Amino acid sequence: MDQSPSLSRTTKRLAADAAGIAEAAAILRAGGLVALPTETVYGLAADATAGTAVAGIYAAKERPSFNPLISHLPDLAGARRQGLFDANALALAQAFWPGPLTLVVPASPGCTVSDLARAGLATVALRVPAHPVAHAVLEAAGRPIAAPSANRSGRISATSAAHVLADLDGRIDAVLDAGPTEVGVESTIVACLDGAPRLLRPGGIPRAALEGVIGRPLVQAGEAGQAPIAPGMLTSHYAPAARVRLDADAPREGEAWLGFGPETHSHPHALNLSPTGDLREAASHLFGYLRRLDETGRKTIAVARIPEQGLGEAINDRLRRAAAPR
């Protein structure tokens, strides 16, 4: 990969202890780039209030700059300084923060998140993650921290420090290694802009849990009459090098196999997301197993059918993006 001189740097491996957390926060305050663990995936973090720092994220990821980023805060009070919460947003935040939920709300008059991180929108995406290491870094940084998933744009999201380094070694200042992430798929994104909360991206909090709190069905983004407001959601994402064939009954000759639930056949290039059919276990393995099967060099990864319930909605969303034409 061709790298401009400003992009090339030595990537420090930081331990997730007090010293590592302090150094990560110092790098962020100085405008640098740090890959941080959250309970969903690793995020590529920068000071959200500094346009030049945020520009570094787009450069390191080679991400199209019109795609807005999530800003991370240590608590609801901090988030409410950045965005305007209506009753639905407040109920969802109180029920699920800290946790794998992102809320898109109108930016507050005092919002300090840079235009670049918001891609010029009048709204802002806010998340309070539950991971203790992320929380500690956010507290120490003392400002909103923008962080998309820590992978090259369009590639599989990173759920371990090794995945981060595979995509971004030499392009970021540090990675804070706290082991593999627990949830394994990104946060659920809900827009609360007009009294009718909209599901922009399925993720770590299942739809039914959200609907239980707001007491009504979530409007689906992209439904008739709804303008798409998360442009990044429409393109091919999470793509391995191999083609992906979904809802397969069994692997064909030469294919790698990503199974789910009990299986009778055996196969040389196979992994099973959860032999017992546990969707939480499957979500936590999804991106790592896609990477491992991609490394076998097979041209196609065939994937078993995953039920569309609970976390299955997020898993199937990511798999459909991985399988999308590109």
Q: Which residues bind ligand TXA (CB under 6 A)?
A: 38, 40-41, 43, 67-70, 102, 104, 118, 121, 123-125, 127, 147-149, 186-187, 189, 200, 229-230, 232-233
- Smaller CB distance to Mg ion: residue 27 or 158? 158
- Smaller CB distance to ligand TXA: residue 118 or 135? 118
- Closest listed residue to residue 100, CA positions, set 27, 40, 178: 40
x-or-dash string of contact with Mg ion, 176-215, rule CB under 5 A: ----------------------------------------
- Smaller CB distance to ligand TXA: residue 25 or 124? 124
Question: Binding partner of residue 38 among ligand TXA, Mg ion, none, CB under 5 to 8 Å per kind?
Answer: ligand TXA
Cα three-residue angle 170-64-135, rounded to 5 degrees: 60
Question: What is the CA 196 to chain-centroid distance, rounded?
Answer: 24
Smallest gap from residue 143 Cβ to ligand TXA (A)? 16
Please count the residues of the chain: 326
- Smaller CB distance to Mg ion: residue 200 or 248? 200
Q: How far is CA 64 from CA 59, 67, 68, 116, 231, in A?
A: 9, 6, 9, 11, 11
- Smaller CB distance to ligand TXA: residue 90 or 229? 229
Question: Binding partner of residue 306 among Mg ion, ligand TXA, none, CB under 5 to 8 Å per kind?
Answer: none
Please give the residue whose beta carbon sits closest to Mg ion in the complex. Answer: 149
- Smaller CB distance to Mg ion: residue 20 or 240? 240
- Smaller CB distance to Mg ion: residue 64 or 297? 64
Beta strands in the chain (DSSP E): 12-15, 34-37, 42-47, 70-72, 101-106, 123-127, 145-146, 174-177, 188-191, 198-201, 219-220, 243-248, 256-259, 270-272, 300-304
Smallest gap from residue 157 Cβ to Mg ion (A)? 5
- For 165: left if phi > 0, alpha if psi spans -120 to 50, otherwise beta; the answer is alpha
Report residue 247 as tokens: 């809802």
Smallest gap from residue 68 Cβ to ligand TXA (A)? 3
Smallest gap from residue 232 Cβ to ligand TXA (A)? 3
Smallest gap from residue 97 Cβ to ligand TXA (A)? 12
Smallest gap from residue 148 Cβ to Mg ion (A)? 5
What is the DSSP secondary structure assignment for residue 218, as one 8-state letter? Answer: P
Strand 174-177 and strand 188-191: pairing? unpaired
Smallest gap from residue 70 Cβ to Mg ion (A)? 10
Query: Could you give the 3-state DSSP secondary structure of residue 219?
Result: strand
Question: Binding partner of residue 70 among ligand TXA, Mg ion, none, CB under 5 to 8 Å per kind?
Answer: ligand TXA
CA dist 188 and 192 (Å) reads 13
- Smaller CB distance to ligand TXA: residue 51 or 277? 51
Question: Binding partner of residue 286 among ligand TXA, Mg ion, none, CB under 5 to 8 Å per kind?
Answer: none
Smallest gap from residue 169 Cβ to ligand TXA (A)? 18
Near Mg ion in 132-171, by CB under 5 A: 149
CA dist 57 and 65 (Å) reads 10
Specify the long-range contacts of residues 7-10, CB closer than 8 Å, at least 24 apart: 7/59, 7/60, 7/171, 8/170, 8/171, 9/170, 9/171, 9/172, 9/173, 10/170
Question: Binding partner of residue 202 among ligand TXA, Mg ion, none, CB under 5 to 8 Å per kind?
Answer: none
Q: What angle in degrees, to the nearest 10, is found between the helix axes of 312-323 and 279-295?
A: 20
- List contacts with Mg ion (CB under 5 A): 149
